[in-house]
Amino acid sequence: MLATLIHAERDIRVETVPDPVLSTGPDAIVKVVAACVCGSDLWPYRGVTPTREPHRIGHEFVGVVEEIGPDVAHVAVGDFVIAPFYVCDNTCANCRNGVSTSCLGGGWWGGNDRQGAFADAGQGERVRVPLADGTLVVVPGPIPDELVPGLLTLSDVMGTGHHAAVSAGVAEGDTVAVVGDGAVGLCAIIAAKRLGASTIIAMSRHPERQALALAFGATHIVEERGDEGIARVRELTGGIGADQVLECVGTKESMDQAIRSTRPGGMVGYVGVPNGGPELPVRTLFDRNVGVNGGVAPVRGYIEELLPDVLSGAIEPGRVFDLELPLSEAAEAYAAMDERRAIKVLLRP
């Protein structure tokens, strides 16, 4: 089969690799219907995280189950399934506590599972899925093709934006600011609106992303950054700052922006993968009673909650995909996202 590998900085290749095979009882083999490139895939692409040897890449996919192992009970051949960006059993203590990203039996796409068998990465034609009953969520069919992009966002970006809003405690009538206008930031706007926020300030300086932010429910756009951006947020919030600020970037600057845009007593929900060393200014948080909550989003637990709204069209997170390419053009997908020619690229095997 074909799958995407990263060989080195800015070196993405689609190559022939061995077909996956069932290796443990709880496995499934999924034929990928759609996959995509994540903002976090750009860190190795840009060389920010080094690639020491060529390896498979991609952690977001939806597909159809082709084979199941003898211990699989809740997933059947032919089911359309959403895979979260990690493997989990959905039964251990951490999963039951809502932190399935810390699953005691879990793992990551493109690496070996706990039994030492390879779990394929998402940007390929097929994936061996360990712990299929826990990892996969079945979507009742038939699935119209136009719903595929929205369903694909549930494997990462929509659930991650939702985690920012949930971690910050967004509730009916709140004023929320969102730092970051990538796919996660845009999905955080959808999530804030869905949870009842009445004012949503999107911090963005790109016209196409501003338009999507407004379509998703943002009520105000702030283009300024740093002190000027914080001053604008305060102007829009009666001089105090937002009730919640959703940090969807992961840099020192974006975390600083988020913390200082939050009102006294407010909460930052952070989901940006920390890069560039953001650290918490505890004295500032103390003086202003600002809380910080969040982390790597346990999206597996959010899929069932968000799925009905995607199926009904009540939310349309699939609109974050502004470019679709065949899997064979994965290298161009990375380049388009790296150069910000695309917000998020969907790949079709």
Residues that bind Zn ion (CB under 5 A): 88-89, 92, 95, 103
Specify the residue, 89 or 156, whose C-beta has the smaller distance to Zn ion.
89
DSSP state of 19: P
Q: How far apart, in Å, are the Cα atoms of 228 and each of 184, 213, 240, 257?
A: 23, 20, 14, 10
Nearest approach, Cβ of 64 to Zn ion (angstroms)? Answer: 25
Write out the two tokens for 237: 């919030």
Residues 6 or more apart whose CB falls under 8 angstroms from that of 239 comprise none
- Answer yes or no: are the C-beta atoms of 168 and 269 closer than 8 Å: yes
Specify the residue, 88 or 127, whose C-beta has the smaller distance to Zn ion.
88
Specify the residue, 89 or 120, whose C-beta has the smaller distance to Zn ion.
89
φ, ψ dihedrals at 208, nearest 5° = -70, -40
Nearest approach, Cβ of 53 to Zn ion (angstroms)? Answer: 29
Specify the residue, 95 or 197, whose C-beta has the smaller distance to Zn ion.
95
End-to-end CA distance of the chain: 10
φ, ψ dihedrals at 300, nearest 5° = -55, -40
Specify the residue, 92 or 236, whose C-beta has the smaller distance to Zn ion.
92
Nearest approach, Cβ of 100 to Zn ion (angstroms)? Answer: 6
- Cα distance between residue 112 and residue 116, in whole Å: 5
Residues 6 or more apart whose CB falls under 8 angstroms from that of 222 comprise 177, 201, 202, 203, 204, 229, 232, 233, 236
Taking each helix axis from N to C end, the angle separating 226-236 and 252-261, rounded to the nearest 10 degrees, works out to 30
Tell me the residue type at 267.
M
Specify the residue, 5 or 103, whose C-beta has the smaller distance to Zn ion.
103
Specify the residue, 101 or 210, whose C-beta has the smaller distance to Zn ion.
101
CB environment 209-240: b (16+ within 10 A), e (fewer) = bbebbbebbbbbbbeeeeeebbebbbebbeee
- H or E stretch at 22: none
Specify the residue, 89 or 133, whose C-beta has the smaller distance to Zn ion.
89
Nearest approach, Cβ of 102 to Zn ion (angstroms)? Answer: 8
